[in-house]
Amino acid sequence: MEPGPDDWPDDEPVRRPARWVQVVAVVLVAAVVGGSIWFTVSAVRGASGPTGPVQVAYPPPDRSASKVPLGRPPTLPAGTTGPHVFSQVQPGTGAPVAWDPCRTVGYVVNPTGSPPGGAQLVSEAVARTSAATGLQFVDAGPTDERFSPDRRAYQPGRYGNRWAPVLITWADGSTVPELAGNVLGVGGATSASAPDGQLVFVSGVLALDAADVAATQAQADGTARARAIVQHELGHLVGLGHVGDPRELMFTEESPLQTDDWGSGDRVGLARLGRGRCFPDM
């Protein structure tokens, strides 16, 4: 229960707890609707369920992919363990859905409203995600595209005949309702079904709350903590869900038990997500 105004001394401003701030994922889930040309993208937030389907066409297969993975996840020290959850698993096998390691993961950034140092936060968090997965990210430059939970993974008018690059935006609760309140960011990937029925992530989106990130930056260890917020959302982008252990970066909220980098369970999950198979027909 929230304290009412009468519970607070007149000269004491009401403060929200600063360190425990909710982070919510947008997990974009694709389901095949007959044939390989169209699929349905549904945005699911937490356990709230689909917000509505959107039909999206596939681009023609990109034959320029490498025959072998472009990178490999690190070999973790023996005994490295910890909780990790995959945001989506393959039908039948239960293996995690992942990005194609034979292709780069392109991303564009809408810098509008970025807090000071926002570009560096993103590039450092991307580098840490790349290091933990072996996935090779490519900065495809700025964009003026805005966040939508139903964002289309294929936008030929804007990005040509290829999957849309991952969109990273700065926003707030007035422009992105998902960021209202204490939510620091939302992020997730869109999967598509290959001809053999297996799923692969092909695009994705992150929206980071600029005001909340700036407020975090202003606190002790603020830069490292702000970077960790971006890493958490990138963890969703590459296929991790939330865990219940507050020592992991993929815990639902910011926690004083986290370090400013991946926890051991995060690293086990990220390494697994970096060993996905290649999809030459996508």
User: What is the distance between the alpha carbons of residues 76 and 186, in angstroms, rounded to a whole number?
Assistant: 28
Return the number of the residue (21 or 25) whose C-beta is nearest Zn ion: 25
**Min CB(232)–Zn ion separation in Å:** 6
C-alpha span between 150 and 108 (Å, rounded):
17
Under DSSP, is residue 125 helix (H, G, I), strand (E, B) or coil? Answer: helix
Q: How far is the CB of 228 from Zn ion (least distance, A)?
A: 12
Q: Which 8-67 positions form the footprint of Zn ion (CB under 5 A)?
A: 23, 25
Q: In the window 240-259, what residues touch Zn ion (CB under 5 A)?
A: none
C-alpha 268/C-alpha 262 separation (Å) is: 10
- Please give the residues from 128 up to 167 whose contact with Zn ion meets the rule CB under 5 A: none
Q: Kindly state the smallest distance separating residue 23's Cβ from Zn ion, in Å.
A: 4
- Least distance (Å) between residue 24 CB and Zn ion: 6
- Our CB check for Zn ion shows the closer of 25 and 228 to be 25
Tell the smallest beta-carbon distance from residue 49 to Zn ion (Å): 17
> Residue 82 in contact with residue 268, Cβ under 8 Å?
yes
Give CA torsion, residues 239, 187, 120, 73, to 10 deg. 0
CA separation for the pair 259, 28 (Å, rounded):
28
Rank residues 25 and 237 by Cβ distance to Zn ion and give the closer one: 25
CB nearer to Zn ion: pick between 102 and 226: 226
Amino acid occupying residue 145: E
Nearest to 70 by CA among 34, 32, 100, 43: 100
- List the end-to-end C-alpha distance of the chain, in Å, as a whole number: 50
**Nearest CA among 61, 80, 59, 28 for reference residue 266:** 80
CB of 218 to Zn ion, least distance (A): 22
Q: How many CA atoms lie within 13 A of 149 on its CB side?
A: 22
| Tokens, residue 13 | 């401003």
CA–CA gap between residue 102 and residue 155 (Å, rounded): 22
Considering only residues 217 to 236 of the shown chain, the ones binding Zn ion according to CB under 5 A are none
* Residues 94-113: x where in contact with Zn ion by CB under 5 A, - otherwise, as a string: --------------------
Neighbouring CB atoms inside 10 A of 141's CB total 10
> What element of type H or E holds 187?
strand 185-193
Of 209, 279, 265, the C-alpha closest to 235 is 265
Which is closer to Zn ion, CB of 23 or CB of 97?
Answer: 23
Ranked by CB distance to Zn ion, the top (closest) residue is 25
Number of residues that bind Zn ion (CB under 5 A): 2
23 or 56, CB closer to Zn ion? 23
Closest separation in Å from C-beta 84 to Zn ion = 13
Q: How near is the Cβ of 248 to Zn ion at its closest, in Å?
A: 11
| 61 versus 244: smaller Cβ distance to Zn ion | 244
115 or 241: whose CB is closer to Zn ion?
A: 241
Residues that bind Zn ion (CB under 5 A): 23, 25
